[in-house]
Structure 1
Amino acid sequence: MPRHLLWMMLFLTIAATALPGGSATYAAPGYEIQVVKTGLDRPWSINFAPDGRLFFTARNSGRLYALNTATGNVQTFSGLPPARFRAEQEAGMMGMALDPDFATNGWAYICYSFFDNDGNRRNRLSRFTVNPVSGAVSGERVLIETMVGALYHNGCRVIVSPDNRYLFVSMGDATVPSLAQDLDSTGGKTFRIFKDGSIPTDNPFYDNGRIPRSLIWTYGHRNHQGLAFHPTTGDLWSTEHGPEIMDELNVLIAGRNYGWGWGSGPHYCLGTVNCGSVPDFMPPVAVFNPERTVATSDMVFYTGSAFPEWSGDLFFVTLKTGRLYRLKIDNRTIVEQEILIDGTYGRLRDVTVGPDGFLYISTDETSAQLLRIRPTIERPYRVQLPLVMRG
Structure 2
Amino acid sequence: MSLKKSIILLSVVGLFAFIAAINPSITIQVKPDESRFTPVTLTRPGDLDEPNTFEVLKDGRVLISERKGDIKLFNPVSGMTSIAGTIAVNTKYTNAKGVATEAEEGLLGLTVDPNFDVNKWVYTFYSHPAQSKFVLSRWDFKDDQLVAGSERLVLEFATQRETCCHTGGGMTWDKEGNLYLTVGNNTGTSLSSSTDERPNRVNWDDQRGTANANSLIGKILRIRPQADGSYKIPAGNLFPEGTDGTRPEIYTMGHRNPW
Identity within the alignment, %: 25
Equivalent AA in structure 2 for residue 114 of structure 1: H
Equivalent AA in structure 2 for residue 66 of structure 1: L
Counterpart in the other structure of 2:179: 167
The Cα of 1:214 is off from its aligned counterpart by: 1.3
Residue 215 of structure 1, aligned match among 234, 249, 252? 249
Counterpart in the other structure of 2:206: 177
Give the SS at the match of 2:242: coil
Q: For 1:212 and 1:58, locate their aligned partners in 2 and report how far apart those are by CA, in whole Å.
A: 32
Equivalent AA in structure 1 for residue 41 of structure 2: V
Counterpart in the other structure of 1:125: 136
Residue 86 of structure 1, aligned match among 90, 96, 120? 90
Counterpart in the other structure of 2:145: 135
After the TM superposition, which segments of 4 or more aligned residues of structure 1 sit over 6 Å from their partners? none
Q: For 2:232 and 2:245, locate their aligned partners in 1 and report how far apart those are by CA, in whole Å.
A: 10
Highest CA radius of gyration, 1 or 2? 2
Are the aligned partners of 2:139 and 2:146 in contact in 1 as well (CA < 8 Å)?
no
Q: For 1:190 and 1:127, locate their aligned partners in 2 and report how far apart those are by CA, in whole Å.
A: 19
The Cα of 1:162 is off from its aligned counterpart by: 2.4
Give the SS at the match of 2:166: coil
Residue-by-residue CA offset, 1:338-361 (whole Å, 9 max, x unaligned): xxxxxxxxxxxxxxxxxxxxxxxx
Equivalent residues in 2 for 1:225-374, closer than 5 Å: 225=259
The Cα of 1:137 is off from its aligned counterpart by: 2.7
Alignment pair present for 1:26 and 2:30 = yes
Counterpart in the other structure of 1:241: none
Give the SS at the match of 2:122: strand
RCO comparison, higher one (Cα < 8 Å, 6+): 1
Equivalent residues in 2 for 1:91-106, closer than 5 Å: 91-106=105-120
The Cα of 1:97 is off from its aligned counterpart by: 1.0
Give the SS at the match of 2:232: coil
Residue 65 of structure 2, aligned match among 50, 57, 75? 57
Counterpart in the other structure of 1:158: 171
The Cα of 1:77 is off from its aligned counterpart by: 1.8
Q: For 2:84 and 2:244, locate their aligned partners in 1 and report how far apart those are by CA, in whole Å.
A: 36
TM-score, scaled relative to structure 2: 0.68
Counterpart in the other structure of 1:187: 217
Give the SS at the match of 2:213: coil
Q: For 2:246 and 2:139, locate their aligned partners in 1 and report how far apart those are by CA, in whole Å.
A: 23
Counterpart in the other structure of 2:193: none
The Cα of 1:220 is off from its aligned counterpart by: 0.6
Gaps of at least 5 residues in structure 1 are: 1-18, 226-391
Q: For 1:210 and 1:51, locate their aligned partners in 2 and report how far apart those are by CA, in whole Å.
A: 46
Are the aligned partners of 2:240 and 2:248 in contact in 1 as well (CA < 8 Å)?
yes
Are the aligned partners of 2:178 and 2:234 in contact in 1 as well (CA < 8 Å)?
no
Are the aligned partners of 1:188 and 1:220 in contact in 2 as well (CA < 8 Å)?
yes
Q: Which moved more, 1:200-209 or 1:152-161?
A: 200-209
Q: Give the superposed CA RMSD.
A: 2.5
Q: For 2:224 and 2:247, locate their aligned partners in 1 and report how far apart those are by CA, in whole Å.
A: 15
The Cα of 1:110 is off from its aligned counterpart by: 0.9
Alignment length (residue pairs): 198
Counterpart in the other structure of 2:196: none
Are the aligned partners of 2:71 and 2:83 in contact in 1 as well (CA < 8 Å)?
yes
Give the SS at the match of 2:60: coil
Counterpart in the other structure of 2:233: 200
Residue 125 of structure 2, aligned match among 106, 111, 115? 111
Are the aligned partners of 2:224 and 2:234 in contact in 1 as well (CA < 8 Å)?
no
Q: 1:108 to 1:223 in 2, by over 3 A?
A: same
Are the aligned partners of 1:123 and 1:149 in contact in 2 as well (CA < 8 Å)?
no
TM-score, scaled relative to structure 1: 0.47
Are the aligned partners of 2:171 and 2:182 in contact in 1 as well (CA < 8 Å)?
yes
The Cα of 1:59 is off from its aligned counterpart by: 0.5
Residue-by-residue CA offset, 1:1-59 (whole Å, 9 max, x unaligned): xxxxxxxxxxxxxxxxxx96638561626221122223212211011112210110011
Equivalent AA in structure 1 for residue 30 of structure 2: Y
